[in-house]
Amino acid sequence: MPTDVDIAQAHELEPITEIARRAGLPEDSVVPYGMTKAKIDLTRLDPSRPDGRLVLVTGMSPTPAGEGKSTVMIGLADALSQLGHKPMVAIREPSQGPVMGIKGGAAGGGYAQVVPMEDINLHFTGDFHALTAANNTLAALIDNHIHQGNALGIDPRRVTWQRCLDVNDRALRNVVTGLGGKAHGVPRETGFTITAASEMMAILGLARSLEDLRVRLGRITVGFTYDDRPVTAADLNAEGALTALLIDALNPNLVQTLGGVPALVHTGPFANIAHGCNSLLATRVARKYSDIVLTEAGFGSDLGAEKFFDIKARFGDLDVAGAVVVATIRSLKYNGGAAKDELTVENPQALRDGLVNLQRHVENIRKFGVTPVVAVNLFGSDTPDEREILHHWAKTHDVALAEAEVWAKGGEGAHELAELVLDNLTKGKTSQLYDPADGTENSIATIATEIYGAGRVEYSPQALKDLKVLQDNGWDNLPVCISKTQYSFSDEPTALGAPSGHTLHVRQLLPRTGAGFVVALTGDVMTMPGLPKKPAAEKISVAGNGKISGLF
Contact between 204 and its own copies per CB under 8 A: no
Residue 388 CA neighbour count, 13 Å, CB half: 6
CB of 247 to its own copies, least distance (A): 5
Q: How many other C-beta atoms can be found within 10 angstroms of the C-beta atom of residue 225? A: 15
- Single residue of 193, 232, 243, 290 touching its own copies by CB under 8 A: 243
Mention every residue, 6+ apart, whose C-beta is less than 8 A from residue 481. Answer: 202, 274, 275, 307, 311, 512, 515, 517, 518, 519, 520
Q: Is 400 a catalytic residue?
A: no
Contact between 168 and its own copies per CB under 8 A: yes
- Single residue of 43, 48, 396, 494 touching its own copies by CB under 8 A: 43
Three-state secondary structure call for residue 508: strand
Catalytic residue among 308, 407, 517, 552: 407
Contact between 117 and its own copies per CB under 8 A: no
- Single residue of 215, 241, 356, 445 touching its own copies by CB under 8 A: 241
CB of 180 to its own copies, least distance (A): 3
Contact 223, 154 (CB under 8 A): yes
Among candidates 212, 199, 215, 129, which has minimal Cα distance to 161?
Answer: 199
Give the nearer residue to its own copies in terms of CB position, either 216 or 333.
216
Contact 109, 4 (CB under 8 A): yes
493 prior amide bond cis, ω within 30: no
Region 207-226 residues binding its own copies, contact defined as CB under 8 A? 210-211, 214
CB of 318 to its own copies, least distance (A): 24
The alpha carbon of residue 501 and the mean position of all alpha carbons in its chain are separated, in whole angstroms, by 27
Please check if 306 is assigned to a binding site. no
In 336-439, where does DSSP find H-type helix? 348-366, 384-396, 406-409, 415-423
- Single residue of 340, 392, 395, 539 touching its own copies by CB under 8 A: 539
Catalytic residue among 344, 379, 383, 449: 379
Q: Is 71 a catalytic residue?
A: yes
Q: Is 407 a catalytic residue?
A: yes
Please check if 66 is assigned to a binding site. yes
Contact between 126 and its own copies per CB under 8 A: yes
CB of 408 to its own copies, least distance (A): 27
Contact between 537 and its own copies per CB under 8 A: yes
Among candidates 189, 273, 269, which has minimal Cα distance to 528?
Answer: 273
Region 53-92 residues binding its own copies, contact defined as CB under 8 A? none
- Pick the stretch among 324-332, 351-359, 406-414, 542-550 that binds its own copies (CB under 8 A): 542-550
Catalytic residue among 37, 39, 53, 103: 103
- Pick the stretch among 57-65, 85-93, 434-442, 533-541 that binds its own copies (CB under 8 A): 533-541
Contact 430, 318 (CB under 8 A): yes
Contact between 518 and its own copies per CB under 8 A: no
Q: Is 308 a catalytic residue?
A: no
Contact between 169 and its own copies per CB under 8 A: yes
**538 phi and psi angles, rounded to 5 deg:** -65, -20
Region 384-403 residues binding its own copies, contact defined as CB under 8 A? none
Please check if 67 is assigned to a binding site. yes
- Single residue of 11, 123, 352, 366 touching its own copies by CB under 8 A: 123
Contact between 165 and its own copies per CB under 8 A: yes
Q: How many other C-beta atoms can be found within 10 angstroms of the C-beta atom of residue 171? A: 9
Region 131-160 residues binding its own copies, contact defined as CB under 8 A? 132-133, 136-137, 139-141, 143-144, 147-149
Contact 480, 542 (CB under 8 A): no
Q: Is 271 a catalytic residue?
A: yes
CB of 527 to its own copies, least distance (A): 12
CB of 165 to its own copies, least distance (A): 6
CB of 21 to its own copies, least distance (A): 16
Q: Give the residues across from 253 on adjacent strands.
A: 39, 265
Contact 35, 56 (CB under 8 A): no
Contact 269, 92 (CB under 8 A): yes
Judged by CB under 8 A, how many residues of this single chain contact its own copies?
A: 78
Q: β-strands 53-59, 192-194: how paired?
A: unpaired
Distance CA 40, CA 29 (A): 5
- Pick the stretch among 33-41, 297-305, 333-341, 425-433 that binds its own copies (CB under 8 A): 33-41
- Single residue of 18, 49, 237, 381 touching its own copies by CB under 8 A: 237
Torsion of CA 206, 212, 214, 216, to 10 degrees: -50
Please check if 63 is assigned to a binding site. yes
- Single residue of 2, 46, 49, 184 touching its own copies by CB under 8 A: 184
Q: Is 484 a catalytic residue?
A: no
Three-state secondary structure call for residue 131: helix
DSSP 257-324: ETT--EEEE-----SSSS--B--HHHHHHHHHT-SEEEEEEEEEIIIIIHHIIIIIIHHHT----EEE
| Known binding-site positions for ATP | 63-70
Residues marked as catalytic:
69, 71, 92, 103, 271, 299, 379, 407
